[in-house]
Amino acid sequence: MLSEKSKKKRKADFVDELKLFEEKDISIQSPKTVVLGKIKEDFSKLKRENSGQGAAEYILLFGGVIVIALAGLLIYRSYFSNNASGLNATQDISSIRANMTNIPW
């Protein structure tokens, strides 16, 4: 067993160490708190970062143009095919060229 004098000495040493921690503003945190703090810090950095935003916007813009082009092709596909529906792009272009040459300038 420890004597009364050694108990008081250990208690005084412990109190001195606690005062040092308080003076240096050192806080003792659990590992869970440290990990959660780092995760929170990483998410706040990602939130502020916008370096890939321009590339994503160009991809969305290009995708939109492709969708519009495909929709147009689906709507006017009968015009581009050579069906007997009366719509023929080759004849229409030839007709326009012929009419343009007949205009008196």
pLDDT value of residue 66? 96
Instruction: Detail the DSSP E strand segments found in 1-105.
Output: none
- Give the pLDDT score at 33: 78
pLDDT value at position 26? 56
Provide the pLDDT for residue 22: 62
Q: Which pLDDT score is estimated for 23?
A: 62
Mean pLDDT of 31-48: 80
**Rounded to whole angstroms, how far apart are CA atoms 64 and 62?**
5
* Burial label, 54 (beta-carbon count in 10 A; 0-12, 13-18, 19+): exposed
- The pair of structure tokens assigned to 90 is 């080759």
- Determine the Cα–Cα distance for residues 75 and 69; give it in Å rounded to an integer: 10
Q: How many angstroms separate the CA atoms of 22 and 97, rounded? A: 91
